Amino acid sequence: MHSADDAAGPPYGGGAEPIVRAAAATSAAVDRVAGSLASGGEPSAAGVAESAAADGRFEIRLSGSGGQGLILAAVILAEAAVSLGKEVVQSQSYGPEARGGASQAAVIISDDEIDYPEVEAADLTLCLSQPAFDKFAPQTRPGGLVLYDSGLVTPGSFYGARLMGLPFTQTAQRQAGTPMAANVVSLGAIVALVPAVDREALAASVAKRLPAKVVAANLKALAAGAELVERAAGSGA
């Protein structure tokens, strides 16, 4: 089952099928984090839970530039959700846009069978580059959350979605010794905000998907991403 973004091939390459399994997604943890993040009129994650609560469907878009490991991040996230018995569809962009400019991968998690496997308006959009922010942030659902790399993106304003900037690439360099781990740092932040997948399942998926020699560094990056959100919640940022 592919989305319209699958322009030139199957989701994983090599003919592999996309992930589609049985599921349940909740929003209580997002509400808890949102209550801490809201402060002095600043954007918060409050709308993330609200936008997904009505039908139990949660749409996540991971966007950035080619080479930032966003397809791998989406596969890791999707497989973690599958391991918890959730219903998941994962897809991504192919073709010229995936090699330059803004590219994206999507993960949909739902309480029920997913009968429409495309992101209509993401509940959470991750932006790891300026072109990705400019293209995909405005497509976020009103009340949803745009999570962006504060070292690479200068956020613009648009109606409806909340904004939250965190230093993903800087943290990846510090914790894992390479900026290439920014995708995993961002997954740690996402799992701290979205209760559909827990940290243990995500860590197991990271260990399964990555070469053994880099697993330890990437598990540190994963934990660091969650800590970024926790610190932001504690400071009211």
Q: Is the pLDDT of residue 155 over 60?
A: yes
Decide the pairing of beta strands 140-149 and 122-127: parallel
Q: Residue 88 carries which side chain, given as an amino acid letter?
A: V
Of 172, 177, 121, 122, which is closest to residue 150 (Cα–Cα)?
172
pLDDT of residue 111: 73
Q: pLDDT tens-digit profile of 117-154?
A: 888 899 999 999 999 999 999 999 999 999 999 999 99
Handedness of CA 95, 121, 25, 150 (dihedral sign): positive
pLDDT of residue 49: 43
Specify the pTM: 0.78
Upper half-sphere CA count for residue 191 (Cβ side, 13 Å): 29
Higher pLDDT among residues 151 and 235, named by residue: 151
Q: Is the pLDDT of residue 229 over 90?
A: yes
Strand arrangement, sheet containing 122-127: 87-92, 103-110, 58-64, 122-127, 140-149, 162-166
pLDDT band at 114 (very low <50, low <70, confident <90, very high): confident
pLDDT of residue 93: 76
pLDDT band at 99 (very low <50, low <70, confident <90, very high): low
Query: What is the DSSP track for 106-162?
Result: EEEEESS--S--S-SSEEEEEE-SHHHHHHHGGGEEEEEEEEEETTT--PPP-SS-E
Rg of the chain over all Cα atoms, to the nearest angstrom: 16
C-alpha distances in Å from residue 164, one per residue of 10, 92, 95, 218: 32, 23, 30, 23
Give the domains, in start order, of the chain with CATH numbers: 28-235 (3.40.920.10)
pLDDT of residue 234: 76
Task: Give CA–CA dist 196/221, Å, rounded.
Answer: 20
Of 120, 139, 136, 146, which is closest to residue 59 (Cα–Cα)?
120
Residues in contact with 35: Cβ distance below 8 Å, sequence separation at least 6, in sequence order? 46
Secondary structure of residue 6 in the 3-state scheme? coil
C-alpha distances in Å from residue 45, one per residue of 142, 155, 214: 12, 16, 31
DSSP 103: E
